[in-house]
Chains A and B, each alone.
Chain A
Amino acid sequence: MPDAAVDTIAAEQVQLTYAGAVNAALERCLTELPETLLYGEDIAKPGGVFGVTRGLRKKFGDRVFDTPISESAILGSAVGAAMLGRRPIVEIMWLDFSFVAFDQIVNQLSNVRYLNEGKLQAPVVIRTQQGSQPGACAQHSQSMEALFLHIPGIRVCMPWSAQDAYDLLVASVYADDPVLVIENRNLYNTGKQPVEIGGPVQRLGQVRERRSGTDVTVVTWGAMTRCALEAAELVAPDGVSVEVLETPWLNPLDTETILEHIGQTRRVVVAHEANLTGGFGAEVVARIAESGISLAAPPKRVGTPDTRIPAAPSLLDALIPDADRISATIRSLLP
């Protein structure tokens, strides 16, 4: 990991949207790390289809550039450039589009360090976004983090707060392993939040306690965090005290901290937008089960049922988990 030039930029509080926080993180990394490159489809001159990378081409010139619609070449060239000393940050517009270039992630990027016994590394950051949105078609709606969490050798995070959109991206670029940063387009412009920029580069793997509580722990990540917090509010009037643990880092996952919390409440719901079977919730529940913690009620998972994703909002509403479904599951754990 390169030395963070923390003294060159003093930490300061600013008001930023989630998209603005991503932009600020990219700007910082491009400034502090001359070996970084930033590229992808429509990201440079147009500033990105969501406007996230606006202004960076002007500021950093040739290190920020647009590419053809060629995901294999985007990801493959990132692997090669990283092997030869660059630190590429590439954008895949939708996570769904990475599948046309899956080889470069599974067979190429993730093998570099292992094969070379650590003598060669591929510090690539893949920035992308996922999630459902009313009207979006089945090929633009999937939550697919579990596919990538099954691949040893690549780190995965899913920032939800604007602060984490900043901190996790900076940490990812500074990391010497490949990292997949999964953002969510529904969060990009949800209003400004106070964000501290320029602070020390954080370690990977934190858990965020978004709400404290004593009866039930909800473990969640991504856009589902808001639903979990709302669910906690829904049951609070009945005297049910819910703790919400957000795990923006899924690999590495801080299992120890999660287990400490669940050891206290002894009741757990794991909630994610991804569909249930093979979802990462299964892994979290397995780790809890293997820990031997004696639970007061069986652990529960909340996720999208195992279906394809429809465009019509009325159909989508019937599938994607919300605060009501999470709160009902919370209640089902109580005597």
Chain B
Amino acid sequence: MTSVENSVDVGATLDADTTQDLEDLNDVWLIRAFEEKVRELRVAGDVVGSVHLCIGQEATPVAIKRLVGPDDALFVTYRGHGYGLMRGISPTSMFAELLGRATGINSGRGGSAYFIAPEHRFFGENSIVGAGAPIACGAALAGRFDGTDRVAITVFGDGAMNQGSVHEAMNFAAAMKLPVVFLCENNSYSEMTPIADMVGDPNLFRRAASYGMVGERIDGNDPTTLRERISQAIAAAREGGGPTLLELMTARLVGHYIGDAEQYRIPGELDRAQETEPVAVLSRRLIAAGCSRETLDDVETGAREEVESAAATALGAPLADPATAKDHVYA
């Protein structure tokens, strides 16, 4: 990987905020380059099945990169490649998983939409909308009995807010003051249907109040804002303050899945979203702080190189071994 230090203008002294922005840009590009490569592999037929990209929504995974502690537990959705990468799963074993290779993080069992890496405190994607929220409550509950100060973080979309399991989980966590942080990534669509058409009150964060927990809506495209607010919620949970719901406003710049014709888009909507997506936000700030265009381009190039080489390694690995297909159903 192009390290942050390498991509900084030689001789320039950068303040801490700018250094952080540069690292964030690097991470955003790592995720985006990964996703673009996945799309290429899916279109070419190397990756098969349904794939959900997080292009445009990279800021939250980037923000929580260092916020998940060694005893904490993270639960995400099928749109989870970015979280996997930020939790430290190597791009090579993620590609291998998507490519059905023996070297995949789950040896090909999980695929794009259901991989898991507990060794990275990444307790999995989930392809059942809303299912991760009650499971996160359980992870938090276990922390009460295992001597840790565990916080569980569960990420889901706006559409998942209409799932019974999410309502139940929020009340369960609030009633028991469980250390759970509920992160709702509001990209304004649930598949092809606008969330605004599917709720009585589109201010989803307001539901938190009725459960008796803090709820807040924040910018979901700026890693700095996200890091600050999510770490406060984690700290509050760790200190016994109970759960928080954060509604993170973002936009998915691509289809719900690869192949989505996106006929539901409002004309001009994607152009406007390009102004506020994470690369644009960070680049604007870095340029204002004195970074050169070249520096920013180098970050992108470095990420793409890393991703290309990871994909090539994964493609060279053997397919998942059919002889193992029936292993591990029972202890």
Contact = CB atoms under 8 A, between A and B. Distances in A.
B312 interface: no
Contacts of B126: 139
B191 interface: yes
B329 A308 contact: yes
A119 B100 CA distance: 54
A69 B162 contact: yes
Contacts of B114: 137-139, 311
Interface residues of B, number: 46
B202 interface: no
Interface string A286-327: 000000000000000000011110111111111100000000
B109 A68 contact: no
B108 to A, nearest CB: 3
A144 B188 CA distance: 33
Contact of A134 (B49, B159, B162): B49
A114 interface: no
B159 A140 contact: no
B213 to A, nearest CB: 21
B2 interface: no
B7 interface: no
Contacts of A316: 325
A137 B127 contact: yes
A334 interface: no
B171 interface: no
Contacts of B325: 307, 310, 315-316, 318-319
B113 A310 contact: no
SS of B interface (majority)? loop
B322 interface: yes
A68 B162 contact: yes
B193 A45 contact: yes
A152 interface: no
Number of contact residues on A: which range applies?
Answer: 35 or more
A194 B277 CA distance: 49
Contacts of A71: 163
B287 to A, nearest CB: 39
B193 A42 contact: yes
B320 A140 contact: no
A314 B319 contact: yes
Interface string A136-170: 11111000000000000000000000000000000
Given A49-B192, A314-B321, A69 B127 contact: no
A233 interface: no
A46 B264 contact: yes
Contact of A312 (B109, B113, B323): B109
Given A66-B198, A139-B126, 14 more contacts: A42-B191, A42-B192, A46-B191, A46-B264, A49-B191, A68-B159, A100-B165, A135-B111, A313-B48, A314-B100, A314-B108, A314-B321, A315-B320, A319-B325
12 contacts: A46-B192, A46-B264, A49-B192, A66-B193, A67-B198, A68-B190, A136-B50, A136-B111, A139-B126, A140-B113, A310-B320, A315-B324
Interface of B: 47-50, 78, 100-101, 104, 107-114, 126-131, 159-160, 162-165, 190-193, 197-199, 263-264, 319-326, 329
